[in-house]
Each structure stands twice: as C-alpha cells, then as structure tokens.
Amino acid sequence: MKKLTVGLLSAVMILGAGTAVVAAGNSGQGDGLSFERMLPFMQKMHPNFSKEELKDMYKACHGEGGMMNGLNGNGVEGQGMMSRF
C-alpha cells in the first residue's frame, strides 16, 4: 500500500512540475503579434483590402484602446470585447 501511495504522489509531483515548466515557458515568449507577422493571414481573410486598410484594422484591434486591450496576443485573459457586457 505504501509503494502505491508513494508512486502516485511521485507521479503527481512529476506531472505538476512538468505542467509548471511548460506554462512558464509559454508565457514569457514576448514576441507577440506584429502587423508584419499578421499581414499574410489578414490578406488571405480580406483579399479586397489595401495594406493601409489592413494596418488600420490591426491598430483598431491590437493598438491602445483596441478590443485586445493593447496586449498583442500576450496575456489575454477573459476581458475580451464580448465579456465587457
């Protein structure tokens, strides 16, 4: 019985530590989204928009006061556009 308990506790600790390492590694990337990285996707979704229109759209979404709260995709929590209501 002791071996089973020790084995289970060890597995829980190893899995918990692994989860913490993965979570810490993903949260500190810092590169976020940039207009240059998003441009190909935006052009694919909106083929009729000019580059200036796409840039304005990006600023409206990811700039200060935008629906992404200026976070550029990093640390986005539950405060999106829809959860403000």
What are 34-70's pLDDT values in tens digits? 888 889 999 999 999 999 999 988 888 877 766 665 4
| 12 in any annotated domain | no
| 63 in any annotated domain | yes
Domain of residue 46: give its range: 35-70
Give the number of domains in the chain. Answer: 1
| 29 in any annotated domain | no
| 84 in any annotated domain | no
Global confidence as pTM: 0.45
Contact 45, 3 (CB under 8 A): no
| 6 in any annotated domain | no
DSSP 62: H
Contact 76, 68 (CB under 8 A): yes
User: Would the pLDDT of 72 be above 60?
Assistant: no
Q: What is the pLDDT of residue 74?
A: 52
Contact 54, 42 (CB under 8 A): yes
Contact 73, 33 (CB under 8 A): yes
Q: Quick one: average pLDDT of 16-28? A: 65
Who has greater pLDDT, 4 or 84?
4
Q: Quick one: average pLDDT of 15-44? A: 73
Tokens representing residue 8 in the block: 């289970």
| 56 in any annotated domain | yes
